[in-house]
Structure 1
Amino acid sequence: MRPILPLLSLAIMLGGCTVGRDYAGPPAAAPKAAGGAGFVRADEGQFTPEAPAARWWEALGDPALDALVVKALAANPDLATARARLRQARATFRVEKANGMPSVSASALYAHARIPGFDFGGDDNGDSGDSDGGGTSNLNLYNLGFDASWEIDLFGGRRRTVEAARASAEAAEASLADAQVSLSADVAQAYVNLRDRQTRIALNNASVAMQEQMLALSRQRLDRGTASRLDVTRLEGQLDTTRAQIVPLNAERDAYLNQLAILTGEEPGALDATLGAEGKLPLPPATVAIGDPATMLRRRPDIRAAERTLASDTARIGAVEAARFPKLSFMGLIGIGGTSLSALSHLDDFAAIAAPQLSWSFLDFGRARANIEKAEGVRDEAEARYRAAVLAALRDAESALSRFRYRRVEVATFARAKASADEAVRLSAERYKAGTTTLIDLLDAQRQQVAAAQSLSLAEAGLAGDFVAIQKALGLGWSDAG
């Protein structure tokens, strides 16, 4: 064993050497936002710099939506896929850590050989075999042994591989969180769309009923000669148009019911009984907490996944670069045994082998250099993707805030139009009671009231959708994967 000591000393001295670049953190992709600057389009009247809540959907105040999101986060198939990928990445990390440790295995062997043409001349005890005559010998062999192998991480290639695997596992964890963010937003958006379609279907049915009543009155007037055929034909066309508008709304309602069922891990149609009836459209709160851009960039899982991927690809450069240098490995073997079972008890009579091996592929015609350049290119691509993720996050947040801001103006405008239509119906009803206007005029005012309500419902659904988009852009809706 003494000749091995110099090699062990050399391995210990070189063990602290790690080639490749050390990861110094992500690049400064958005220095103004990272420095604490506020969102550009954030109005104080609508947005507050307070920290937003992770379970943002609860701010909509709809218990049915809360239950759907919770169920989706527990049973969605795509989320289960992301969890499985996280388990794989963590297992890979543990495997890479274990690969840097010595490998020890044990073996037990019994062999019986009948060899013709040989006579071992065994003794009376049969320790070395026995002969059955005719120059044929029978031989028994018993052996117990242990062998070990270990590759010394001289230049840190194994450490870089473990570092890369750890960062990849953290990227998988961030990807799972990003899937949770997208899923909660998809459930909320589908629920908002469903309630909007149900509301508009009810309003369209009310409009159809009014137009049918108007058409019946016009036909009566036509029979009495107080209305023209043109008036009746115009009302018939208007009624058919309104009826036709309900058809795509029904199809979209069914599609959103099926989408919600799939998102929650159910079969299509499973939620028809519980969500099929008309429900109230959830509306966002008066003020929305959005925090600040720097916190948002740290919170968004897709940015963290991109940053961890960059760290992993940076570490892999060192793992590839270590392949250019010599490798030192040790193999050892120790065993006991013989031609009889009693030989296994002779512990002082054993065979031992210790074999250090030094290998170095010093002539590879540029293969190692090309692999390093490839790894550096992968790392540069990861850095570019990280920068793009940061900028895209800021764009998503700013755009969502802007849309929400202007959508509120739209909702306020349609709300005033709806109030005017309500007042027109009230005045028309008073005039009809006083005999100064006809029932058709009153029904027409009511039809316009329904149209105003439809426009307001569509605008409110857009406002709720924009609220959902803000929460998704802020990276909310995920929980720690543990």
Structure 2
Amino acid sequence: MRNILLTPGLLLLAACTVGPDYDGPPAVNSANAEQGFVREETGTVRAEPTLARWWESLGDPVLDALEQRALAGNPDLAMAQARLAEARASLGEVRADRNPSLSAMGVAAHLRVPDIGDNGENAEADNGSDTNSSNIYNLGLNASWEVDLFGGHRRQVEAAEANIGAAEANLADAQVSLTSAIAQAYLNLRDRRERIILAEQAVEHRASLLEMERQRFEQGVVSRPSVDQAESRLASARSDLAPLRAEADSFLNALAILVGEVPGSVDGMLAQHAPVPLPPAEIAIGDPAGLLARRPDIRAAERQLAASYANLGVAKAAGLPRLSFFGILGIGGTELSDLTQLDDFTAIAAPMLQWNFLDFGRNRARVGQAEARQDAAEAQYRSTVLGALRDVEDALSSFRYRRQAVAELARAEASAARIVDHARQRYELGAASRRELLDTELAHNAATSQLSAARAALTLDFIAIEKALGLGWQADS
């Protein structure tokens, strides 16, 4: 009857799980679908954005190819994938710890024991007798199983599962960072090459103006300082080329490294000139609630918070009694043939209750550490959410005002182009000098350069929006 009552009692104890149950992350003010983002404007819609391959909206096949090469070969992604595999293997180990363990052992020993006389002294010293010796042979099986009385092991499983979720989110976050870095480097490369072309045109105009000033100086129309000024402006224009070319090479190198290859490996596919791609006319940004569910760093922080709850339960269970069962089955003797005597074996089976109740506050301190880590994880989650909201709002604001600047610079460039056309017509009619024409062309070159840089910055702002929204990863990766 005692055994019958023991089993239900153990089941009731095994159903007990200490520590707080995790019921989701804390709410963060303003992160809801009704309010939307503060800096929303015309050109953005609350439709849920496309999670993966956002860069295809730029319509640049070279960029598309670079992104695919990077997703396949980037070493940072490989590291994140390895960490995910490690987390999954760790869960397998934790789950296996719930099962009984069974081990085999074998012993073969030779013992030499001195004879002891009746007086308790070494008999060999009295009569010179030899020591006794014997052999021992033994084969056995050891089995043990710990009952999860207070749910400490179940909390370990919960923590391991949460760690897998965090590793998956970290992998997705690595994809978000990588795809945006590829797009940024590509846009910067195209921008620098465009600026190099415009700078070379400015050098040509400055060289023509210098030649004209030299001719006018020889004719006595202008003084030497006019020539010196033209030479200075030409040298200054030429000096603009070197840093632009160095930056272009740097972005080429960055793209090669990002795709997981050596510098120079992508030079061939980027040799042809191409314009800077522009963002789409309308951008889907979703809402703050969707951001919380989608952005990988928020997902990782939430999973780490869940793990901290489970680890607190593990710490609390460690200070409570532990019940385990162990058994030993062995056979052997002083002769090797005794190992075959199956009717002569030793069997031991017994429960064992352990409780380290006098640990001088050690486990209380461990629980305090776990509680502090839980508080830190909750604060980290809130910080991550607030940082993500700021990223989106900053990117939306920058995109909004950059687009206004692009519109103004486009009008300025168009006006400068009309001035050039008018000056060329007057020059062809003999009503204007070549110097006047070159001056208007230089002004148009400067306006075009400003517009080109602003358009590139606008596309970079679009990339910042997509990154802030947590786009560029695939759920099945």
Taking structure 1 as the reference length, what is the TM-score of the superposition? 0.91
SS in 2 for 1:65: helix
Q: How far apart are 1:115 and its partner, in Å?
A: 5.2
User: Which consecutive unaligned segments of at least 5 residues does structure 2 have?
Assistant: 116-128
Match of 1:281 among 276, 289, 297: 276
Q: How far apart are 1:317 and its partner, in Å?
A: 0.7
- Matched to 1:461, the amino acid is A
Q: How far apart are 1:228 and its partner, in Å?
A: 2.9
Q: 1:85 to 1:481 in 2, by over 3 A?
A: farther
Tell me if the contact between 2:33 and 2:290 (Cα under 8 Å) persists in the aligned partners.
Answer: no
Paired with 1:276 and 1:144, the residues of 2 have a C-alpha distance of: 74
SS in 1 for 2:330: strand
Paired with 1:116 and 1:333, the residues of 2 have a C-alpha distance of: 27
- Identity among equivalent pairs (%): 52
SS in 2 for 1:356: strand
- Matched to 1:453, the amino acid is T
My pick for the range that moved more, 9-18 or 472-481, is 9-18
Q: 1:411 to 1:163 in 2, by over 3 A?
A: same
Tell me if the contact between 1:152 and 1:327 (Cα under 8 Å) persists in the aligned partners.
Answer: yes
Counterpart in 2 of 1:247?
242
SS in 1 for 2:31: helix
Counterpart in 2 of 1:71?
69
- Matched to 2:349, the amino acid is A
SS in 2 for 1:154: coil
Does residue 292 (structure 1) correspond to residue 287 (structure 2)? The answer is yes
Counterpart in 1 of 2:44?
47
- Matched to 1:79, the amino acid is L
Taking structure 2 as the reference length, what is the TM-score of the superposition? 0.92
Match of 1:382 among 377, 380, 395: 377
Tell me if the contact between 1:112 and 1:138 (Cα under 8 Å) persists in the aligned partners.
Answer: no
SS in 2 for 1:33: coil
Q: How far apart are 1:266 and its partner, in Å?
A: 1.0
Paired with 2:226 and 2:2, the residues of 1 have a C-alpha distance of: 112
Match of 1:368 among 363, 371, 381: 363
Tell me if the contact between 1:35 and 1:294 (Cα under 8 Å) persists in the aligned partners.
Answer: yes
RMSD (CA atoms)? 2.1
Paired with 2:81 and 2:452, the residues of 1 have a C-alpha distance of: 38
Counterpart in 1 of 2:90?
92
My pick for the range that moved more, 442-451 or 16-25, is 442-451
Counterpart in 2 of 1:155?
150
Paired with 1:255 and 1:437, the residues of 2 have a C-alpha distance of: 44
Query: C-alpha offsets along residues 318-363 of structure 1, whole Å, 9 cap, x if unaligned?
Result: 1101122111122111123445565444434321111321111112
Paired with 2:224 and 2:272, the residues of 1 have a C-alpha distance of: 39
Paired with 1:5 and 1:228, the residues of 2 have a C-alpha distance of: 117
Paired with 2:111 and 2:348, the residues of 1 have a C-alpha distance of: 29
Tell me if the contact between 1:4 and 1:356 (Cα under 8 Å) persists in the aligned partners.
Answer: no
Tell me if the contact between 2:62 and 2:269 (Cα under 8 Å) persists in the aligned partners.
Answer: no
Counterpart in 2 of 1:269?
264
SS in 2 for 1:34: coil
SS in 1 for 2:329: strand
Paired with 2:444 and 2:168, the residues of 1 have a C-alpha distance of: 51
Counterpart in 2 of 1:13?
12
Paired with 1:35 and 1:73, the residues of 2 have a C-alpha distance of: 32
Paired with 1:160 and 1:66, the residues of 2 have a C-alpha distance of: 44
- Matched to 2:74, the amino acid is N
- Matched to 2:66, the amino acid is L
My pick for the range that moved more, 331-340 or 215-224, is 331-340
Match of 1:83 among 55, 66, 81: 81
Tell me if the contact between 1:290 and 1:474 (Cα under 8 Å) persists in the aligned partners.
Answer: yes
Q: How far apart are 1:67 and its partner, in Å?
A: 1.0
Counterpart in 2 of 1:468?
463
Counterpart in 1 of 2:23?
24
Paired with 1:370 and 1:116, the residues of 2 have a C-alpha distance of: 49
Paired with 2:27 and 2:343, the residues of 1 have a C-alpha distance of: 66
Counterpart in 1 of 2:159?
164
My pick for the range that moved more, 149-158 or 271-280, is 271-280
Query: C-alpha offsets along residues 450-478 of structure 1, whole Å, 9 cap, x if unaligned?
Result: 11111011101110000000000110001
